[in-house]
Structure 1
Amino acid sequence: MATFAPMIGSPPVSLGSRIRQAFKRLWPSVLFYSLVTMVVILALKIPNAKDYVGADNDDGMRLVEVRDFLNGQGWFDLMQYRMGLGSGTLMHWSRLIDLPIAGLIKFFGLFLAPERAEAAALLVWPLSLIIPSLWAMAVAGRRVGGLLGMHIALTFSVFLLITSNRFLPGSIDHHNAQFALVAIMTAMLLDEKHGAWSYAAAGLAAAVAIAIGAETTPFVAAVCLIVAIAWAWEGEAYATAAKSFGLTLALSISVLFFGTVPPRLYSAVTCDNLSLGYYSLAAIGGGLLLASATLASRYRRSVRFLVLGGVGIAVLGSAISIAPQCLHNPLADLDPMLVDLWLNNVQEAQSIFGANRQDTYTLGYFYATGLFALAVCIFRLAYGDRVRIHLVLLCLLFVSWGIAAVQVRGSPFSNLVAIFPLTLLIIDMRRVSNGDRENVVAAFFYIATVLLSVATVWGFAGGLIGSRLSTGYTDPTDDIDKRSCSSRTTIAPLVDLPAGLVVGPSDMGVSILRFTGNRILSAPYHRNQGGMLTEMHIGLAPPKEAEAFLRGTGVTVLAFCSENPQTAEIAKIKPDGLYAQLEKGNVPDYLQALPRPDGSPVQFFRYVGSN
């Protein structure tokens, strides 16, 4: 074993001792686990990578948006001019995510070709978010369970990140940033000393989370409610924390609102991004919490709760008067046809019941760990065990698990929060098991608890059971690549054509934007309802009526991919519709088939008008 003597007369320090000391500190541990996570992700992803952009449509759309930004589109201009009807579609995403990705592309562009610069940036960005995510998980783990708790939380987090698709190279949607922000908010609320800096960080993270996406707004609301109720219960002991949170939230959301929302939209209320609705609620709530904690902290508890009730009435009244439409799911306003033909087939948008219908055996991965953690929190509270920690975690878990039950894409947040009550349980089970090494039952329950606390184990078990119970034979050739209709080689015939308006399945839209200079009618975004509905009506309408749609919208090219699930469903619904006729080989005279590369699942048609 190597030894070191840093000073004359000092006893030698072994390398092993130095390593053990390093793992007792926060940052060395975080960096080590982050490096392990990155190496494993790269080892699993890179050898089989076919594209440097993530498989999700949102990853490709984000790249298109960043390219437009780099090519001179304004900071406040989030219009996607090449998508949808008329002059385009106003997107609901944030420049806060575009900016660092654009910066990385510009940096790598100093010494790499443009496409390689993009590839490098899209590799670095998701991997870089692993570090703040694991830092927050480590802080939270240490706060609930000390040094051992930190390492257990980090280990579980590594498994969670590796099995998630949010941190893979090319995953540049905002969900990985949301993961980090949710972890930070959770960690800061677990500060038993109620430090001002912790709650200021929580307020800042809450504001940024609102600014980059609406998916976490229920979680942010829960964080605000926890801080407010904790202040009303504890009074002066919590006043500094409440003031720090309220002030930082109000100031941060104001800076982000005026810094990212175009002035012409200051009075607009939208429920899928930062607008007057969310801004006013966060600013009013944060400001009133600051005022309450400043003026009423010395009053008795009943008075503080009366004050808090007044704050709640003011915030609720503001919500009803300013943004009543934001009190329900923004997707509830979708046209029923879009729900049937599009949304119901989007995996991440499924509820727990929809996920059960699609694949029962995935439910364990998405929901079991969170449900287990909820039960643990309730059990602990029933016995009065570390009440504050488990009450905070129960509230966060209840909300995040509820989000996941409505849309499965929320499950990473519930699995994240679940780590902490399960970490405490594992520490206690380990203590019991180590106290009596001859007790086989204690050892069994300790090991079982560890396994049941890992979402990956549930996912693996579900997949194994599903494969065992499946009795049908599946032909490997039937496993069609979901991106085959929208791969670069498939889209290639459009590159040589004059730029025009292309109509095709919504899943092809983003790839056409990315690989060509064409406009597209349809892409899978709820703000593009008009374009998506028009494409569906074109496919459903009989050929003569379909031509009226094509001519009216100015379509120059029609892309037909019979292997696209949505196209196949439209053809099935209307046997006399255009898509069904094209599937049968009946091409109307106003469409001219373009040369089709061998093996391509897509046939492009130029619209030439009727003879």
Structure 2
Amino acid sequence: MTQHPAPHSPLLRWLPAIAFAYVALMMLARAPAGPELLFALGNDSAMRLVSVRDLLAGQGWFDLTQSRLGLEGGFEMHWSRLIDAPLAGLVLLFDLFADRLHAEARALTVWPLLMLAAVVALVTRIGTALGGAAAGPVSGALAAGMFWGDARFLPGAIDHHNAQVALLLLLLWGVIDRRDRRVLPVAAGLALAASLAIGVETLPLLALCTFGMAGFWLAHGAVERGPVLRFALGAVGGLALLFPALAPASAYAGGYCDAFAIDLALPVALGVGAMALAAATVSHRPLRTRAGVLLGLFAGVGALTLAATPACLSEPYGALDPYLDARWMAFVREARSLADLIATDAEPFLFGYYLLGLATLALALSYAWRRRSGAWLLVGILIGCALAIGSYQLRGVFALTALSAPVMGVTTAALHRGWRDGRGTGWGLAALAFTLLALPMSWVQLSNGAETLTQHVARSGNATPAAPDRDTLACFTPGAMAALAALPEGVVSAPSNFGTRVLLHSGHRTLSAPYHRNQDGMRAQLEITLAATPEAARAALQKYGVDYMLVCLKDPELSTLARAGFDGFGYALESGAVPGFLTEIPTDAPESALRIYRVN
């Protein structure tokens, strides 16, 4: 067993905590105070808070319907109560000390910082497992800096991505340190089950970690029998507990894989169970026998999956209406590829994520080769997969950053050790260069001159592609939303990026918000927005029972569509061409560019 003694220097041992505390204070200093935070949320965080409010207001635990979004009756969201529950608990806790809005704001502040603390602690453990006692604290401190300013860990980030990062790291730690701590494989299995229950964004990375556990068993045989069985206990047991505890009725019927359903849970449970069966029966047999048995069992699970639950074999957005694909998904920044970023005027600092991924991929594979280390090979494969996912869709870079942190930490610690041992100042300078390479604020300074990351966050809303547009936020001010909320409840027509704010700050129903399960509502909204004439728009408004229309004079969504050739009624309205069947409602909010119209 590998032993990792504690660092001798107290400062080194506390370095991750010091770095986290500093980063957390900087984030808190830039965050809006109190309930103002609720007006600075991104779409997913706003939608999550709506779900939490619904739960606290008495909506059924298994009822995931968003009845105020889309066409009449709403639709079932694909998100998990596993995130709603702790957030609701935090709100109820802070209710003891403040009114509900302040309680919500405090919950929105605490949750992402808790997730960041977990990520820093887990990266510290992974760095220690890979590089020794000194590398762990350096890795954790770098992780804090690497997520400084990242929208997924700023106050207000309560969607689910930060929790998925933490669970992926727990799974990875449990796999690579599986033989040093007996409970870790169980925790890793539980992390796999919990992450699948939350969402499928990291599914390829979770699968690679699981295959990594199988690969270690194939390579080493009997010594890996215990870790594999404990991992299976955590994963299969976790799925057996979480599925009935979380899955709505539709999940039992299946037919989809964008959420926790039988199509996802059953193949994973059978696959991990097959691995455990092989480990229990043939661990002492030769490699050829082990490989043959495992491949045979996996083939059986694969055949059963193809026959009974094939939904997860296709891309989650494969069933998206082509009309929406051309007029919505094509313009979603997070869904853009690296090729799209290169071809357009993307902010240069975004490419730092990919350069970091390439650097850490090369380093991890180099360590794997020189040290003949399966753990390093697994890390390299994961980084390569995350880099591929991030190149396909920009949203994947959040996992790439987390996986890169321990690699940078191990390398920086090794370079510092070389400098400390008197090998020359070049080693110290190299350690400093690697530290700067790991920190996004360095990329911003290189791409924007003297601008700091904090200034960049203040200017653009956040430092990652998940951030809400600052012009959009300028429309949804407290005064403007108070005016909307004061109107008799009705149906609102507004661009998709407005939908979650309408739900969060009023009691109205809105046709559209950027969620792929709301295809009927999004198409209805686009029929209104892109209507060729005011008469066609009026007919669509009447068809869908719309009472109010919202226009934000600074909103980029309609102008982006117009530049791509999809202009129409909504763009004309935003430009000031108001037809007679719309009456503007005063807002008493001169600071806002939002315009509210009543449909006559």
Report the TM-score, using the length of structure 1 for normalisation. Answer: 0.88
Matched residue, 1:327: 313
Distance in 2 between residues matched to 1:427 and 1:22, nearest whole Å: 16
Q: How does 1:472-483 map to 2 (within 5 A)?
A: 481-483=471-473
Per-residue displacement from partner, 1:19-78 (whole Å, max 9, x unpaired)? Answer: 9675576xx665544433322322343579942465311111111110010000010001
Q: Larger Cα Rg: Structure 1 or Structure 2? A: 1
Q: Once the 2 structures are TM-superposed, how far is the Cα of residue 271 of structure 1 from its aligned partner?
A: 1.6
CA displacement at 1:413 relative to structure 2: 1.4
Q: Following TM superposition, by how much is the alpha carbon of 1:129 offset from its aligned partner in structure 2, in angstroms?
A: 1.9
Cα deviation for residue 604 of structure 1 reads 2.0
Counterpart pick for 1:556 among 543, 547, 569: 547
Q: Residue type of the partner of 1:89?
A: F
Instruction: Work out the CA distance in 2 between the residues paired with 1:589 and 1:575.
Output: 23
Distance across 2 between alignment mates of 1:138 and 1:182: 14
Structure 1's 457 and 137: CA in aligned 2 closer, same or farther, altered over 3 A? same
1:69 counterpart = 2:52? no
Deviations 1:350-381 (A, max 9, x none): 22222332415123332111110111123334
Deviations 1:121-179 (A, max 9, x none): 11221122233222211211221222211111111111023231222211111111111
Task: Return the letter of the residue paired with 1:448.
Answer: A
CA distance in 2, matches of 1:310, 1:193: 26
After the TM superposition, which of the residue ranges 280-289 and 264-273 deviates more from structure 2?
A: 264-273
Is the deviation greater in 449-458 or in 537-546? 449-458
1:54–1:171 Cα contact (<8 Å) kept: no
CA distance in 2, matches of 1:575, 1:448: 46
Q: Per-residue displacement from partner, 1:96-140 (whole Å, max 9, x unpaired)? A: 111111111111112311111111211221122233222211211
Measured in 2, the distance between the counterparts of 1:64 and 1:29 equals 37
Q: What is the CA-CA distance between 1:494 and the residue it aligns to? A: 1.9
Cα pair distance change 1:256/1:394, threshold 3 Å? same
Show the counterpart of 1:11: none
2:472 and 2:552 in contact (8 A); partners too: no
For residue 523 of structure 1, the aligned residue among 486, 494, 513 is 513
One-letter code aligned to 1:373: T
Q: How far has the Cα of 1:585 moved from its partner?
A: 4.2
Amino acid at match of 1:298: H
SS at match of 2:551: strand
Q: In structure 2, which of residues 75, 94, 99 is the aligned counterpart of residue 89 of structure 1?
A: 75
Separation in 2, partners of 1:216, 1:483: 29
Task: State the Cα deviation string for residues 576-597 of structure 1 (Å, max 9, x = none).
Answer: 8322443454433332332354
**Unpaired stretches in structure 1, ≥5 consecutive residues:** 1-17, 468-473
Is residue 170–residue 188 contact of structure 2 (8 Å, CA) maintained in 1? yes
CA contact (8 A) 1:594 1:603 kept: yes
Which segment is superposed worse, 254-263 or 233-242?
A: 254-263
Q: Which moves more between the two structures, 283-292 or 343-352?
A: 343-352
Alignment of 1:126 with 2:112, yes or no, is yes
Q: Which amino acid aligns with 1:169?
A: P
> What is the CA–CA distance in structure 2 between the aligned matches of 1:44 and 1:313, rounded to whole Å?
53
Deviation digits for residues 464-496 of structure 1 (CA, Å, limit 9, x no counterpart): 3999xxxxxx9xxxx962312333323333222
Q: How many angstroms does 1:510 deviate by?
A: 1.0
CA contact (8 A) 2:20 2:141 kept: no
Aligned position for 1:511: 501
Residues 558, 416 of structure 1: CA spacing in aligned structure 2 closer, same or farther, 3 A cutoff?
Answer: same
Shift of 1:460: 3.2
Please tell me whether the aligned partners of residues 327 and 566 of structure 2 are also in contact (alpha carbons under 8 angstroms). Answer: no
| RMSD across aligned positions (CA) | 2.8
SS of residue in 2 equivalent to 1:481: helix
Q: Decide whether aligned partners of structure 1 residues 360 and 558 sit closer, same or farther in structure 2, where only a CA change above 3 A counts.
A: closer
Question: Match of 2:259?
Answer: 273
Residue 222 of structure 2 is aligned to residue 232 of structure 1: no
Distance 1:157 1:442, change over 3 A: closer
1:280 aligned counterpart, secondary structure = helix
Task: Give the match for residue 603 of structure 1.
Answer: 595
Give the match for residue 426 of structure 1.
Answer: 412
Alpha-carbon contact 2:7-2:134 (below 8 Å) kept: no
Secondary structure of 1:558's match? strand
Q: How far apart, CA to CA, are the structure 1 residues paired with 2:8 and 2:419?
A: 24
Structure 2 match to 1:374:
361
- Structure 1 equivalent of residue 442 of structure 2: 457
Contact kept in structure 2, 1:452 and 1:458, CA below 8 Å: yes
SS in 2 for 1:333: coil
Counterpart for residue 195 of structure 2: 209
**Would the aligned equivalents of 1:185 and 1:201 in 2 still touch at CA under 8 Å?**
yes
2:350 corresponds to which residue? 363
User: Contact 2:236–2:272 at 8 Å: present in 1 too?
Assistant: yes
- 2:42 pairs with 1:56: yes
For 2:171, the equivalent position in structure 1 comes to: 185
Give distance in 1, aligned partners of 2:436 and 2:486. 55
* Alpha-carbon separation, structure 1, partners of 2:17 and 2:561: 51
Q: Which of 286, 292, 296 is residue 272 of structure 2 equivalent to?
A: 286
Pairwise mapping of residues 25-36 of structure 1 onto structure 2 (< 5 A)? Answer: 31-36=17-22
Match of 2:209 among 211, 223, 232: 223
Equivalent position amino acid for 1:380 in 2: Y
Matches of 2:178 and 2:525, distance apart in 1: 55
Counterpart amino acid of residue 152 in structure 1: V
- Aligned partner letter, 1:595: P
Query: Contact (CA 8 Å) 1:540, 1:574: kept in 2 or not?
Result: no
Number of the residue aligned with 1:448 = 433
Q: Does the CA-based 8 Å contact 1:485-1:508 persist in structure 2? A: no
Tell me the secondary structure at the aligned position of residue 512 of structure 1. Answer: helix
Q: For 1:215 and 1:444, how far apart are their aligned partners in 2?
A: 38
Give the Å deviation of 1:557: 1.1
**Aligned partner of 1:376: which letter?**
L
Cα distance change, pair 466–309 in 1 and its aligned pair in 2 (3 A): farther
Q: Pick from 350, 357, 363 the counterpart of residue 336 of structure 2.
A: 350
1:132–1:442 Cα change, 3 Å = closer
Please state whether the residue corresponding to 1:526 is helix, strand or coil.
Answer: coil
Percentage identity across paired residues of the two chains? 32
Residue segments in structure 2 that go unaligned for 5+ positions in a row: 1-5, 453-458, 460-468
Checking the alignment, whether the CA contact within 8 Å between 2:444 and 2:451 is kept in structure 1 is no
Q: Which residue of 2 aligns with 1:315?
A: 301
Change (3 A) 1:314 1:33: farther
Partner of residue 492, structure 1? 482
Q: Which residue does the alignment assign to 1:567?
A: 558
In the alignment, what sits opposite 1:111? 97
Q: Separation in 2 of the partners of 1:421 and 1:480?
A: 34
Secondary structure of 2:167's counterpart equals helix
Cα distance in structure 1, aligned partners of 2:479 and 2:562 = 25
Helix, strand or coil for the counterpart of 1:593?
strand
Contact conserved, 1:231 with 1:242, CA < 8 A, in 2? yes
Change (3 A) 1:154 1:182: same
Distance 2:513 2:104 in 1: 22
Q: 2:85 aligns to what SS in structure 1?
A: helix
8 Å contact kept, 1:288–1:311: yes
- Range 516-525 or range 338-347, more displaced: 338-347
